[in-house]
Amino acid sequence: MSALIGFVALFALLFTGLPLAFALGLVGFVGFGLLVSFGPAGAMAAQVTWDTLSSYSLSVLPLFVLMGNLVNHSGLSRDLYAASNAMVGHRRGGLAIATILACGGFSAVSGSSLATAATMSSIALPSMKKYGYSTSLSSGAVAAGGTLGILIPPSVIMVIYGSMTETSVGQLFVAGVVPGMIGVLFYALAVMIVVRIRPEAGPAGPHLHWREKLSQIRRVWLVLALFALVIGGIYGGAFTATEAAGIGASGAFAIALGKGVITFKTLFRILSDTVRTSAMLMAVLVGALVFSNFINIAGAPRAIIEAIEASGLGPTGVLIGLILFYLVLGCVFDSLAMILLTIPVVFPLVQQFGFDPVWFGILVVVVVEISLITPPIGMNIFVIRSLNPGVPVTTIFRGVLPFIGADIVRLLLILLFPAIVLYLPMHMK
């Protein structure tokens, strides 16, 4: 009952406009204090804050945020799109497929869905409009491609999930590689199906000479090599996820420096953005952990486990219920809020029924991906809408439907064949 009151209070505070970090921390602190006493509540909050902010493993957050900001300011997003367009732009629907490929490449170094959607929207949409692409297909491709940002490593969501569940971030990163590639492939297939049914939706672009193709590809080999170094190093055991973050940030800085885009003014802006984003993420995480302690002391996870055991639901039923729960929740919450609010309650169920935490983490991320493009509150949809006010929201939602179908197929594959997720982590050195 205490936990339920806490959730009601939390939602009430969120609807007043109080930032998520403060709402989580306040409800967690007050709830813990009412159940135990405010002296221990203060000690708990202080200890959580110290442990989180001084955590060596969480240093990956600001480092990967810095890496993404450096890559973004280096103009590599445009280079990635140009290279992808050079390879497939001459085919029907090729510009949309190029957008998906560029989103996948940018995701590999940004780790953010919203950043990927916002960046690629400004680059890809004008190009597709120029060549007569339907607004629904072009905006749908950008919105769906942006969701790859939280799955293809490095991923901020994975870092937060790993921190909250004490799951290896390195294993989560490696586990996300194959599902991320499948996502890119299935999105490309969705585009091909759309243009097969409606050829006018994605006319073929100009055919570039192979010399021009090679010229465009050469411009992105450094960022591809950086991704391979970061993920390959983690997989091969050469360095940890934290060390990989440092190498990734250093590599991104070297690339930006080599391209001549770094000035003192630009560097200050990059570092300022990194500090603001990192501080926000750390604050939210501290608030979530304080709230998690309150939920645990209130006995909510144990009560839910006992209720499920009494209902006779097996592991399969529980899993299906959790997936449906996340799909519904994704219609009204953004991805970060979903993870922070639900993991304290859901993860004990994962442990109770013996689900692999790495596999479940990737499963949750895929479901959260879907939520980013589902009505009525698909965050990627509204990012694109805000940057393109002339495009109706209904048009974008109509455009993402084929990609939602592709995501559901991928989700079923992960459910039926866990090895898709677990094969690479199981063979890490």
In percent, the amount of the chain with pLDDT more than 70 equals 95
Torsion-angle region of residue 136: left (phi > 0), alpha (psi -120 to 50) or beta?
Answer: alpha
Question: Model confidence over 62-104: pLDDT tens digits?
Answer: 887 888 788 777 777 777 777 777 777 677 888 888 888 888 8
Reported pTM: 0.82
Q: pLDDT tens for residues 198-213? A: 888 878 767 767 777 6
Question: Please, which pLDDT band fits residue 376 given cuts at 50, 70 and 90?
Answer: low
pLDDT of 46 strictly over 70: yes
Lowest-confidence pick of 41-50, 272-281, 414-423: 272-281
* Phi, psi (deg, nearest 5) at residue 117: -65, -45
Rounded Cα–Cα distance for residues 138 and 263 (Å)? 34
Question: What's the pLDDT tens digit per position in 181-192?
Answer: 999 999 999 999
Say how far apart CA 299 and CA 312 lie, in whole Å: 21
Question: What phi, psi does 111 have (nearest 5°)?
Answer: 75, 10
Q: Supply the pLDDT for residue 187.
A: 93
Check residue 372 and give its pLDDT. 79
Is the pLDDT at 110 greater than 70? The verdict is: no
CA–CA dist 39, 284 (Å, integer):
23
Among residues 246, 223, 222, the alpha carbon closest in space to that of 234 is found at 246
Dihedral over Cα of 40, 42, 46, 49: its sign: positive
Q: Is 312 exposed, middle or buried (0-12, 13-18, 19+ CB in 10 A)?
A: exposed
* Span 260-305, pLDDT tens digits: 777 888 888 888 888 888 888 888 888 888 888 888 888 776 777 7
Q: How far apart are CA 350 and CA 167, in angstroms?
A: 12
Please provide residue 124's backbone torsions phi and psi, each rounded to the nearest 5 degrees: -85, -40
Comparison of pLDDT for 399 and 116, the residue scoring more: 399
95 compared with 218, residue with greater pLDDT:
95
**pLDDT value of position 334:** 67
Q: Would the pLDDT of 111 be above 70?
A: no
Determine the straight-line distance between the first and last CA of the chain, rounded to whole angstroms: 46
Q: What is the pLDDT of residue 245?
A: 81
